[in-house]
Chains A and B, each alone.
Chain A
């Protein structure tokens, strides 16, 4: 009896969801991001994008993610990316401190999360910032293609990251002087 009424309730909900489908967020965005992330992205004060832009960005991101990454993004709010050096990063669905370095040496790390603050420069084109999905895609591509560029550009919130960044900057400075 209980199962039958539950099935009836689900059918009713599905029917109304289909009827109201055009008023709900588009399919790709809904499949990729959890309701909480979608809510925060929709109601952001300075990063507001219309639903068509968000949907296009979500479609492009979905095409570049594996099914595991898509599921992880939907359930946990991030997906993992492996850089050229073999280090693993988490790209979080948020604007501030969006990239986390996973500590490969310790499975139970006794330190605060190692985060990098980085964003897209929308001011160069006189435009606002990219939709969230596009920004995540760019971070993924950058980590996979040129990890060193990412490490030099971003600002880490932990001392090891700062030291590494300074070392990379010193090396590139010396290399430029040698040329």
Chain B
């Protein structure tokens, strides 16, 4: 199972999906698109061994772990 953590006011909310069977995939993709397109969230995905974090712009169904965080602004 892959997991997407959406960071928010009350900690993170997890959305899980199965990349093989496609269970929960639509919900995860819809949340990803809504958060990134409408609210400008940043999406980070980790490498296969937990290293090498990259920022992604479109939903990757094969990713093991995605973190969605609100965009950053200068203080």
Q: Which residues of A pack against B, CB within 8 Å?
A: 49-50, 52-57, 60, 96-97, 117-122, 124-125, 127-131, 134, 137-139, 141-142, 144-146, 149-150, 153-155
Contacts and interface: CB of A to CB of B under 8 A. Distances in A.
A121 B73 contact: yes
B4 interface: no
Chain A CB count within 10 A is highest, among B11, B12, B44, B55, for B11
Given A125-B39, A134-B12, A138-B42, A120 B70 contact: yes
B44 to A, nearest CB: 4
Contacts of B10: 49-50, 52-53, 56
Which 3 A-B pairs have CB atoms at the shortest separation, nearest pair first? A56-B11, A117-B75, A155-B74
Contacts of B75: 96-97, 117-119, 154-155
Given A53-B10, A124-B39, A130 B55 contact: no
Contacts of B39: 124-125
B16 to A, nearest CB: 15
A130 B7 contact: yes
Interface size class of B (residues with CB under 8 A): 20 to 34
Contacts of B72: 118-121, 138-139, 142, 149-150, 153-154
B11 A134 contact: yes
B40 interface: yes
B54 A145 contact: yes
Contacts of A54: 11
B55 A149 contact: yes
Given A49-B9, A142-B72, A150-B72, A121 B54 contact: no
A38 to B, nearest CB: 16
A141 B53 contact: yes
Nearest to B69: A138
